[in-house]
Amino acid sequence: MKRIEPDAPPTDFRAAVLAVVARIPKGRLASYGQVALLAGFPQRPRQVGMVLSGLPEGTALPWHRVVNTRGYVPSRGRWWGAMEQIGRLRDEGIEVDDQGNLDLEAHRWRPRGR
């Protein structure tokens, strides 16, 4: 996997994705496709996941608010991290199941209108 090195300059795509994620309000959820579209890359939902997968642990970005359209957090190889993510989402007032399932439509982030 790709390591995030401080000396490695972030690509525009990564910067755009991170910027969109940073815009997600507290208690709101956004899907990968949603983030990709807002970032300006509607055909790249998978790359968004790769970017988030490479985020540092001390990142201030609410990456835990980004889920797939199913309303589920895969967290491949980081189920333990997913559990921590679930706790954070619950703390924001989002109903999350122990399996990582949640109601995406109930907390869909609605840009433009607000």
Partner DNA sequence: AAACTGACACTCG
Partner DNA sequence: GCGAGTGCCAGTT
**Chain residues that interact with DNA, rule: CB under 7 A:** 1-3, 11, 13, 31-34, 43-50, 52-53, 55, 63, 68-70, 73-78, 81-82, 85
- Taking the least distance from each CB to DNA, the nearer of 11 and 99 is 11
Contact in structure between 29 and 65 (CB atoms under 8 Å):
yes
Three-state secondary-structure class, residue 66: strand
Q: Could you give the C-alpha distances from 93 to 34, 46, 81, 86, in angstroms and in order?
A: 21, 27, 19, 11
Q: In angstroms, what is the minimal distance from the CB of 54 to DNA?
A: 7
Q: In angstroms, what is the minimal distance from the CB of 68 to DNA?
A: 3
CA 93 vs. chain centroid, Å, equals: 17
- Taking the least distance from each CB to DNA, the nearer of 76 and 114 is 76
Ramachandran region of residue 75, left (φ > 0), alpha (ψ -120 to 50) or beta? Answer: left
Q: In angstroms, what is the minimal distance from the CB of 114 to DNA?
A: 21
Q: In angstroms, what is the minimal distance from the CB of 2 to DNA?
A: 2
Both structure tokens of 48: 């968004």
- Taking the least distance from each CB to DNA, the nearer of 26 and 78 is 78
Contact in structure between 68 and 31 (CB atoms under 8 Å):
yes
- Taking the least distance from each CB to DNA, the nearer of 3 and 114 is 3
